[in-house]
Structure 1
């Protein structure tokens, strides 16, 4: 356990959405799949050896997920269920894997902020990762975490990143790690002095990912080449792996190399199907 991340508990609680996603590409890749930062980041962390719990709200349509054998590695005790439909995203990408259009129905995730605040009050010793994406009230959540002196990390989603970064800027220097892509980092630089941030992980698709600590680059890694099948969620795979490996004591360079490899493997793998409910 590094002195940068401090003393933490075994469990990583990931605040965010679990969603039904439809991804579309000009070459007819894509389709319906299971997604959402809370799920994909938690799965990556669990695969890398850390106990991970999605702090999420499931609708009636995804209430069966905790029973799915393929998701049994997760700690489902931090989820709640609400009457209604789960979050749904329609994600359109170009051939380079850049997001060009988003359609959203937040569904029961409108209740996520209240659920997350309750969870934080009940479990102040958890380590937290916050997926700073709508409809979460990120100012309320990060304000509570900072007030509790909790260990937390954050990431963003480009379509809402500018607003979310500005809403969270005052608390970001208290985050152990901020995860952004190259475009989000430019927005981050406009909102805050990045030299005040303990750790920023910056990804850039197939190009080198870097780690900056208080403004100084301390590590870089080029993802191994893979033929992409699905790019949505690659950042979650990287962040979950990086956090798990750092918690286990890996150096920054080791964690980044493994995290970029995990993200590359993720984009080359088949999308995660939505499991069918059990019969009987």
Structure 2
């Protein structure tokens, strides 16, 4: 079975909403994409850097379905995110301390060089050097997909632009799609999945709309990570041979279940 190697952060998050939802939980795009892919039947490995505070994650029973062999353990603290949302689930402000994730680019480049035929998903978010990582992947026979994070999307899309036509799938939200359309000719892109919160998600292939799906209605307990869940689920089903329409339907349903579920707590280290 082809493994999905997910380059990105695993973090300690604080999410905040005006109605007092949210709280401290485990986060990071590499975690959510990998978990979603695994739940959808595809082995997945976070290519990440963990600090001392999250060194115990591979031993946590709730996370033992992941392949942790691609992680790097480093001395220091893991990435932390403070994410503030409005009542509609739109991100208002983000504060970040990258911690040991400053070593992510070097780790990702080393991992990719030893796995030139792997299948990668690249979470194009700071502090990753997107230009260096995508250039290396594009020069090999590796298959890769990418996603973005709105606060840094404009800069990251510009940095990634020369290699986006080589990507199998791009994941963007409606606002990011407008930035993408300004940076590249979307008619050259093989597969672009565009999400829009509770509204219909669509897929464009070489500039043509080829599928759409409306997420099942759910009360949104937590929206942070919903896009990553959709991406991981979609990729897993596409790798298993599903059509674009089938994969999108599964992915939107998984994202809807995710927003209605409790957040993932930070597991306590095992004693003894």
TM-score greater than 0.5 by the shorter chain: yes
Q: Does 1:274 align with 2:269?
A: no
- Residue 141 of structure 2 corresponds to 149
- Residue 5 of structure 2 corresponds to 13
Distance 1:273 1:122 in 2: 33
Displacement of 1:149 in angstroms is: 2.7
Distance 2:64 2:74 in 1: 21
What TM-score does the superposition give when structure 2 sets the normalisation length?
0.99
Other structure's SS at 1:78 match: coil
| RMSD between superposed Cα atoms in Å | 0.6
Other structure's SS at 1:77 match: coil
Runs of 5+ in structure 1 lacking a partner? Answer: 1-8
Distance 1:142 1:221 in 2: 29
- Residue 31 of structure 2 corresponds to 39
Distance 2:190 2:58 in 1: 35
Displacement of 1:126 in angstroms is: 1.2
Provide Cα deviations, 1:113-148, integer angstroms capped at 9, x if missing partner.
Answer: 000000001111210000000000000000000011
- Residue 159 of structure 1 corresponds to 151
Distance 2:15 2:104 in 1: 24
Other structure's SS at 1:209 match: strand
How many residue pairs align between the two structures?
272
- Residue 5 of structure 1 corresponds to none
- Residue 4 of structure 1 corresponds to none
What TM-score does the superposition give when structure 1 sets the normalisation length?
0.97
Q: Does 1:25 align with 2:17?
A: yes
- Residue 189 of structure 2 corresponds to 197
Distance 1:199 1:125 in 2: 20
Match of 1:226 among 215, 218, 221: 218
